[in-house]
Amino acid sequence: MSLGAIPGTGPATSPLPVIRPVKAPKRFADLPTGRTLVMGILNVTEDSFSDGGRYVRADDAIGHGLRMLYAGADIIDVGGESTHPGADFVSPEDERNRVLPVIKALVKAGAIVSIDTMHTSTARAALDAGAHIVNDVSGLTHEPDMPALIAERKVPYVLMHRRGDAQTMVTEANYTDVVAEVLAELTELRDRFLAAGVPASSIVLDPGLGFAKAPEHNWALLRATHKLSALGHPVLIGTSRKRFLGSLLAEAGKPAPPAERDVATAATSALAAAAGAWCVRVHDVESTLDAVKVATAWANPALVPAGTGA
> Is 35 considered catalytic here?
no
Please identify which of the residues 96, 243, 261, 281 carries the catalytic annotation.
281
Please identify which of the residues 57, 213, 242, 293 carries the catalytic annotation.
242
CB 13 within 8 A of CB 59: yes
> Is 104 considered catalytic here?
no
Where b means 16+ CB within 10 Å and e means fewer, 70-81 reads bbbbbbbbbbbb
DSSP for 219-241 reads: HHHHHTHHHHHTTSS-BEE--TT
Long-range contacts of 262-269 (CB under 8 A, 24+ apart): 262/287, 263/287, 264/239, 265/239, 265/240, 265/241, 266/290, 266/291, 267/291, 268/222, 268/237, 268/239, 269/36, 269/38, 269/237, 269/239, 269/240
Residues 199 and 192: their CA atoms lie apart, in Å, by 11
Q: Catalytic positions, please? A: 242, 281
